[in-house]
A = this chain, B = another copy of it.
Amino acid sequence: MSFLRHITACNTHDLSHYRPFFVAGQRVGMVREDLCRRLAGFGDPFTIRYDGIAVSESLAGPAERTAAVRSALDRLVEEGEVPPLRGEDYPVLSQWGTEPLMAMDRAAMPCFGLKCFGLHVNGYVRKEDGLHLWVGKRAMDRGVAPGQYDNLVAGGQPAGLSLAENLEKEGAEEASLPPELVRRAVPVGIVSYLMGTEAGLKDDSLFCYDLELDETFEPRNTDGEVERFELWPVSKVAESVERTDDWKFNVNLVVIDFLIRHGFLTPDHPEYMALCKGLRR
């Protein structure tokens, strides 16, 4: 019975088995040692550095890097070194706000420990008896977190879209939010974590938004990711996150951040300080 265990779960990793990964001379990620060994023997487009693995500096720019690594990934997927690609490119950034150094299929991002960004929208309704939060139950056929609870809207940040464009796209697909409504979502900070998984390292930063909705709005999913939406009192949400593992791993953190910012989780809670500090690594 703890909120903090969710933050611990999202920040469990052992960096001693990873080596730095470089693109365009910049350190952008970390590769597991066994994959490093495979990449070292792969040749172009990868080169060995004394301190890690790099995408060859001979490749002229982002487009050339993206194409060359995509071909290599096809072979690495066949060999079972990288999970099946998902056909959606993410930007490879040294940090948020910089120009992409290349793009890479989202499935391969953790294999190289690359920074991924996403957006999560807390959709809430002020009722007479207090705040209520829209909760999405993920479809059972999803590869990630089937049947678990999710935010009203959540999605990764793909290459070629601004955050605002992605918010509009995801809002429409996941909850049928009209553009003029989703634009009212207020950015309220980030949640970030570094999570070791079978594929590699998830170095994720999630932009959090709060969107106040009136009682008449009913979200409706159109992309098959969510089975149904339910409107829960915040107390029920808090109890569920604290006591169960029913929520998608990183949604727990977004909800904990919401509970803190809105004063539902207070300094009296023994985990308060650790939660505040643990939400952003």
Residues of A participating in the B interface, judged by any CB pair closer than 8 Å = 95-97, 163, 186-190, 192, 205, 207, 260-263, 266-268, 270, 272-273, 276-277, 280-281
Contact = CB atoms under 8 A, between A and B. Distances in A.
Given A163-B267, A267-B163, A267-B207, A188 B277 contact: no
B261 A97 contact: no
Contacts of A192: 277
- 3 nearest A-B residue pairs (beta carbon): A186-B263, A96-B273, A190-B276
A276 B189 contact: yes
Contacts of A277: 190, 192, 280-281
A205 B273 CA distance: 9
Given A276-B280, A280-B280, A189 B260 contact: yes
Contacts of A267: 96, 163, 187, 207
Residue in A96, A163, A192, A267 whose Cβ sees the most chain B Cβ within 10 Å: A267
Chain A residues touching B, majority SS: mixed
A146 to B, nearest CB: 30
A277 B163 CA distance: 19
B260 A97 contact: no
A262 B207 CA distance: 14
Contacts of A273: 95-97, 190, 205
A272 B186 contact: no
Residue in A263, A276, A280, A281 whose Cβ sees the most chain B Cβ within 10 Å: A276
Contact of A272 (B96, B266, B270, B280): B96
A130 to B, nearest CB: 13
16 contacts: A96-B272, A97-B270, A97-B272, A97-B273, A186-B263, A187-B263, A189-B260, A189-B276, A190-B273, A190-B277, A207-B267, A261-B261, A276-B280, A277-B280, A277-B281, A280-B280
